[in-house]
Structure 1
Amino acid sequence: MIKKYSILSYIFILVILALVSLCIGRYALKISEIFSILFGNRANWQEVNLLVNIRLPRVLLVIVSGAALALSGMVFQSIFQNPLISPDVLGVSSGCSLGAAIGIVFLSASPFMIQGLSFIFGICSVIFSLILSKKMRSNRVLALIISGIVTGALTSSFIMIIKYFADPYKELPAIDFWLMGGFYNSDWKSVINVLILVFISTIILFLLRWKLKVLTMGDDQAKLLGVNVKCIRTIAIFSATLLVSSVVSVAGLISWIGILAPHIVKSFARDDISKIIPLTMAVGAIILLIADTVARSITTTEIPISILTSLFGAPFLVYLLNKKGAVIR
């Protein structure tokens, strides 16, 4: 059972971390200065510009992105009944990155086309992974992981080919940006675009929450309870992939949030999916906000965010593989 204060406490932690993140940077701001600027009581245009046009949109974009990646991971784990699946393991993130790379090189980096191609290639990656896993005779858990690794390897090879032919002065650095991940170019337009897509996907998934819960019992049990398994799974895959592609299109490839957040929440919450969804999104936002704050403040040069998430995420996956070893064997 999930207590109400659990959700509120995580939201409170997220708000506190957001305020701390707004204060931290090369030009430090005090909490009192932030509130003065937000309520229009400060006339220093440099501080106003720093907060309103640089730090605030970045913090909001990080929060929305972390929530989106965490929710997508939870959905993929539910519909495939596999605790080790995430957008990264399934090849969705790398597929979205391939779409973004194609958009950068061949379509003049149009934001709309990058987002569209990220979504299309993310969907194609999921479909390819599923088809490949069904061809294998091994355990379903292991088959999905192996198919995701193969999909990721294929998309990575295509990205390397695109990088080889890309303009080394303009297009190649842009592609590297997507692959390393970061919120360097955050602005209000990016926040609005991502927020709209994440809002739509979240509403769809929240409306399907009980059917997604039933899917965790297995396809046969879900069918007995009157759930159209194929339809619900298709809608969920499209919605979860849209969440990932919306983030990849503005921040590049960000790894491990989709597997870290759901498992942290599952460690203390298992029953009510209507509470698990906001909890998972809040935890994902907290993890990514901490990583982004560290990435831009620990050194004079900003560290790509995927470096930090991978440092924590990879050992966590090893722990999960060890914990689920009996199932995989």
Structure 2
Amino acid sequence: MFSLSLGRVDISCMTVLKILFSSVFPLEPDWSVTTYAVVIDVRLPRILAGILVGAALSISGASFQGVFQNPLVSPHILGVASGAGFGAALAILLFDNILMIHLVSFFFGLLSVGMTYSLSRVYKITPILMLVLSGIVVGSLFSALTSFLKYIADPMNKMPAIVFWLLGSLNHVSSKDLLITAPVFIVCISALLMVRWRINLLAMGEEDAKSLGVNTETLKAVIIVSATIATASAVCISGIIGWIGIMIPHIGRLIVGPDHKYLLPVSMLIGAAYLVAVDTIARTALVTEIPIGILTAIFGAPVFAFLLRKSQKAD
């Protein structure tokens, strides 16, 4: 149970709630301590984490697709998730501290997207194709490095933690994790929402955007850094959860069209609801919990194939 420690005074959340209820409403909480602990200490952090992670991955995917003018781009294809995953696995192996996991995963996530973008600029031809291929190369590199970490990790302690974490799960999310990562999520998502209409200008092309007075390099840096930090934050508390960043923006386009002014908030809301629903299925479908990354791949692959086929028929 959470408690607020003020000097020598230790006030439980149950006491605070009772005071608030009695002062505002003539009601007394009648739930048991066990019920309160399950709802507040276990279920609530998990639901909030699902909302934040789903929203962050969806809005990051939509932002990356707009910046790079490629509907097939996602945090995973660009290598961001693989880089952040390697950083988090490295931090689990060396530190096993949530703050260090967050910092190291962010660093390698930013490094991976920088490597992808730099590699794609080697050739001036077919930049979209080069971007996707570069992301595959960088993602494969960090995936191999992650496999090496699993190979050298302690097989009785560290390796199971890394493997289970890489499959994606919200099972171990605590209020402490949310306290550290929630402000990061909110800042990054807010930054992307504030510049969402400018992504439309980038989608027109850099020359057209510059002619309208937009500093394209600064804008791209803000969007890429914000989306990368949001993805790395998601990875560090939930592991690698695929398909959300590429599938949800396509669903959003079917609903509101390609205008990023509406696409980003709609994608964010759909992604949050989707991940909470998938997490509920993961908890209740079997006796043992199913890793979320497995379910998102099972659901995401056929849905994305259907969306691609439908868009091809529309063209």
Q: Partner of 2:86 in structure 1?
A: 98
- Greater relative contact order, per chain length (Cα 8 Å cut-off, separation 6+): 1
Kept in 2, the 8 Å contact 1:84–1:321? The answer is: no
Change (3 A) 1:88 1:163: same
1:216 to 203, 217, 221: 203
Q: Partner of 2:146 in structure 1?
A: 159
- Counterpart residue identity of residue 254, structure 2: S
Deviation at 1:319, TM superposition (A): 4.8
Deviation at 1:318, TM superposition (A): 4.1
Deviation at 1:313, TM superposition (A): 2.1
Deviation at 1:148, TM superposition (A): 1.3
Q: Does 2:233 correspond to 1:235?
A: no
Q: What does 1:290-305 correspond to in 2, within 5 Å?
A: 290-305=277-292
Q: Partner of 1:140 in structure 2?
A: 127
Sequence identity of aligned pairs in percent? Answer: 40
Q: Does 2:69 correspond to 1:84?
A: no
- Gaps in structure 2 of 5+ consecutive residues: 1-20, 22-26
Q: What does 1:46-61 correspond to in 2, within 5 Å?
A: 46-61=34-49
- Gaps in structure 1 of 5+ consecutive residues: 1-35
Change (3 A) 1:271 1:148: closer
Q: What does 1:65-80 correspond to in 2, within 5 Å?
A: 65-80=53-68
SS in 2 for 1:169: coil
**Superposition TM-score, scaled by structure 1 size:** 0.82
Q: Does 2:110 correspond to 1:126?
A: no
- Counterpart residue identity of residue 116, structure 1: L
For 1:127 and 1:116, the matched residues in 2 are separated by: 17
For 1:40 and 1:190, the matched residues in 2 are separated by: 31
For 1:286 and 1:43, the matched residues in 2 are separated by: 27
Kept in 2, the 8 Å contact 1:97–1:178? The answer is: no
1:277 to 264, 275, 288: 264
Deviation at 1:324, TM superposition (A): 7.5
For 1:324 and 1:269, the matched residues in 2 are separated by: 14
Q: Partner of 1:109 in structure 2?
A: 96
- Counterpart residue identity of residue 101, structure 2: I
Q: Partner of 1:287 in structure 2?
A: 274
**Superposition TM-score, scaled by structure 2 size:** 0.86
1:254 to 227, 241, 259: 241
Kept in 2, the 8 Å contact 1:95–1:155? The answer is: yes
Deviation at 1:191, TM superposition (A): 2.1
Deviation at 1:123, TM superposition (A): 0.8
Deviation at 1:272, TM superposition (A): 5.2
Q: Partner of 2:155 in structure 1?
A: 168
SS in 1 for 2:108: helix
